[in-house]
Amino acid sequence: QVRLVESGGGLVQAGSSLSLACEAFGNIPDFNALGWYRRAPGKQRDLVATITTENMSNYAASVKGRFAISRDGAKNKATLQMNSLKPEDTAVYYCALLSSLGTVWGQGTQVTVSS
């Protein structure tokens, strides 16, 4: 069984930077991409960014130019660098492993941006 371990997150002021990391452990299946999603209070879970095993990245329009996702293939690890954070970036951020068998989710980590 695969397990995703997330780290990072916390409380920061608007304009600050924060980095989230996610590493997959266990019986890791062949997968297509790693990614980050987020759920703001009262809203559905939405895409933030994904990166494929061929290092092709995709971003939500709201974070493009501010966030950057990278991958360490040797460690099955993905990092999300978040810059110029805004209060509307406040959410629980979830790591995801995307494969043909489905999506595996991390437990989530809280990011709070104060104005």
**Confidence (pLDDT) at 111:** 98
Query: What's the distance, CA 89 to chain centroid?
Result: 12
**Confidence (pLDDT) at 31:** 86
The CA-CA-CA angle for residues 82, 12, 17, to 5°, reads 25
On whether the CB atoms of residues 94 and 38 are closer than 8 A, the answer is yes
Question: Going residue by residue through the chain (115 aa), what tens digit of pLDDT does each one get?
Answer: 899 999 999 999 999 999 999 999 988 888 889 999 999 999 999 999 999 999 999 999 999 999 999 998 777 999 999 999 999 999 999 999 999 989 999 999 999 999 9
* Distance, CA of 30 to CA of 55 (rounded, Å): 15
**Confidence (pLDDT) at 55:** 92
On whether the CB atoms of residues 99 and 2 are closer than 8 A, the answer is no
Phi, psi of 75 (to 5 degrees): -110, 5
